[in-house]
Structure 1
Amino acid sequence: MLGQLSGLELNPLLSAIKLTSNDKIICVREVGLADSNFIITYLMKKIFQTHDKLIFVNFHNTLDHYQLVGKKLGFDLLNKVQVGDAVIVDMLKNVEEEISNEDSKFFENSEEFVEKLFCRIELKADEIISTNDNQTFLIIDDLTHLLDIGVNIECVVKFITRCCNLKSNSVSVVINNHVSPYESNDEILPEDNIIANSLSYISDLEIEVAPLQTGHSKDVSGVINITRPGEVITKLHYKAYDRGIKTFKPGESLMNLLK
């Protein structure tokens, strides 16, 4: 269970996030050109190392991508599926098949597609919950793609609400979403920002991954802001490498260079 870290506290990023079984709604906000995928894979690592269960919905990357990255981090996603620790809802494959079907009316009735998606997630939840007593996590990466394929915002909000109430809150939900920058308060707030702000309002834990405001740096890839209601924001800088990331407090990278 998540209360027994089994050495995971040695990972600086996971130690800063402090994910617990009480965290029912976790929002991962990806800003602008930043890539928050490493947050998803590190959360997977923690879920598996603490012997919890996973329902994974992929909109953004292929399963081969998560398999490759997972092996670099020390877990085998496909093996976890085979032994019953994880179930997959492969939305990339599903959307591709739906669009390539000549008789498909996908773009005419995307709400029906979302209804089928939730029913599929609910079915997977039934399967995995019935076979174990461990905590179950639903990870959706990346919710924003529902907007990209033409689903209206009301339907997306309804989908989020149903996921957050899945099995009477017995499932913790991790939702990754991308937000586009906008210039001023005078502009109409983009739909992806509306979704992200709504998630931020109800989340027990929000993890924001953003580029540096000062622009490109060879030593720092971006900023991670970790927020819990009523607590001071934890701010980290990170540097992305091929086999993972390194996190450090703001200013530490420059100090190391000066030593």
Structure 2
Amino acid sequence: MSAPISITGHFSNTVLRNLNISLENKIIFIKESPLADANFLISYILKSLVQENKNICFVTLHNNLEHYQSVGKKLGYNLECVNNDNFTLINPLENLIETLTEASLDSIFDSIQNEIRNFRKSNDRPIYVVIDDLSHFIDLGLDITEIIRFINDCVNLTSDPNTFFVINSHVSSQKDLILAHSVQYVCNLFINVSALKTGKSSDISGVIKIQKQDEENVYHYKVFDRGVKTFFPGETIYNFYK
């Protein structure tokens, strides 16, 4: 029987490597299916980027920075200690009074582009733009065609060999699904986090499917207070304690 996979400890033996989630993929798309929460993957990706001293442009639409700081401390990294030259935050909701407009979306893209330019001026390390959660643009009243145009503009930025995107998007409506399909079409690595089809389980939090080109791998995962354990279908969480 295969050994269980743990995502605690240093990046060299975390879930990202064990699940073959390489951050060298230009566009990583994480689809969060109904009743599932993929936020732990964003947190572990941030952990890896911080530990490897990458440039991070973090666009927060779902949780605030304090949430990620709290989770990060549980996982062994501290966003508060990251050098400001390596980390920048774009929070479109911070001063939002009314719904976003097309001009607002253009402004967010301009901010991303400007931060990328600033990183290039200060160092030559890889730049990762992390967007969590894209579906909130729909919740805030933006037209889906404008959001797709925004994504296409972001994709064009990855023509630079040192620029990468990690995008998370929740799916709970038909519009969310259309948006997710659009991002999946342009991504290099697709990760689908979903709930169990059989309903809730005390032993399994959900399912992770990872697709790259024609290859698909499936794992189960269990969320704990200070980490996550993943294992193959057919294995049991109790194997971890033997």
Q: TM-score by structure 2 length?
A: 0.89
1:236 is aligned to 219
1:60–1:92 contact (8 Å) kept in structure 2: no
Of residues 31, 42, 45 in structure 1, which corresponds to 2:44?
42
> What do you get for the CA RMSD once the two structures are aligned?
2.1
Seq. identity, %: 39
Tell whether the 8 Å contact from 1:87 to 1:128 is kept in structure 2 after alignment.
no
- Structure 1 unmatched runs, 5+: 1-6, 100-105, 182-189
Partner of 1:86: 87
How far does residue 120 in structure 1 lie from its aligned partner after superposition? 1.1
Q: Residue 102 of structure 1 corresponds to which residue in structure 2?
A: none
Residue in structure 1 matched with residue 96 of structure 2 by the alignment: 98
Say which SS state the counterpart of residue 115 (structure 2) adopts: helix
Contact kept in structure 1, 2:16 and 2:22, CA below 8 Å: no
> In the alignment, is the contact (CA less than 8 A) between 1:239 and 1:246 conserved in 2?
yes
Relative to structure 1, the CA distance from residue 63 to residue 89 in structure 2 (aligned partners, 3 Å threshold; closer, same or farther) is same
Q: Specify which of 180, 187, 210 is matched with residue 194 of structure 2.
A: 210
Match of 1:115 in 2: 106
| C-alpha distance in 1 between matches for 2:46 and 2:104 | 26
Report the 3-state secondary structure (helix = DSSP H, G, I; strand = E; otherwise coil) of the residue aligned with 1:219.
Answer: coil
Which residue identity does 2:218 align to in structure 1?
K
Q: Deviations over 1:78-102 (max 9, x none)?
A: 22153x2211112231xxx231xxx
Rounded to whole Å, the distance in 2 between the matches of 1:56 and 1:161 is 18
Q: Which runs of 4+ in 1 moved over 4 A?
A: none
Partner Cα separation in structure 2 for residue 167 and residue 37 of structure 1: 24
The residue type paired with residue 119 of structure 2 is I
Give the corresponding residue for 2:11.
Answer: 8
2:65 corresponds to 1:67: no
Aligned residues: 233
**Aligned letter for 1:169?**
D
- Per-residue CA deviation, residues 118-169 of structure 1 (Å, 9 max, x unaligned), is 1111111111122111111100000000000000011000100111112633
What are the ranges of 5 or more consecutive residues in structure 2 without an aligned counterpart?
1-9
Give yes or no for contact 1:32–1:210 (8 Å, CA) kept in 2: yes
Residue 25 of structure 1 corresponds to 27
Q: How far apart, CA to CA, are the structure 1 residues paired with 2:57 and 2:126? A: 11
Distance in 1 (alpha carbons) for counterparts of 2:51 and 2:79 = 12
Deviation at 1:13, TM superposition (A): 4.1
Which secondary structure state, in structure 2, belongs to the residue aligned with residue 164 of structure 1? helix
Are 2:158 and 2:164, in contact at CA under 8 Å, matched by a contact in 1?
no
Establish whether residue 197 from structure 1 lines up as the match of residue 181 from structure 2.
yes
Q: Please say if 1:155 is aligned against 2:146.
A: yes
Q: Cα–Cα, structure 1 residues 254 and 35, in superposed 2: closer, same or farther, change >3 Å? A: closer
Q: Distance in 2 between matches of 1:81 and 1:123?
A: 18
> Shift of residue 48 of structure 1?
1.8
* One-letter amino acid matched to 1:176: N
Q: Is the 8 A contact 1:34 1:211 kept in 2?
A: yes
Residues 12/140 of structure 1: CA separation in 2 closer, same or farther (3 Å cut): closer
What corresponds to 1:185 in structure 2?
none
Distance (Å, rounded) in 2 between the aligned partners of 1:168 and 1:117: 19
Say if 1:37 and 1:142 are closer, same or farther in 2 by CA, change over 3 A.
same
Q: What's the counterpart of residue 219 of structure 1?
A: 203
Q: Which residue is 1:249 aligned to? A: 232
* TM-score, reference length from structure 1: 0.84
Are positions 1:130 and 2:121 aligned together? yes
Contact 2:57 2:127 in 1 (8 A): yes
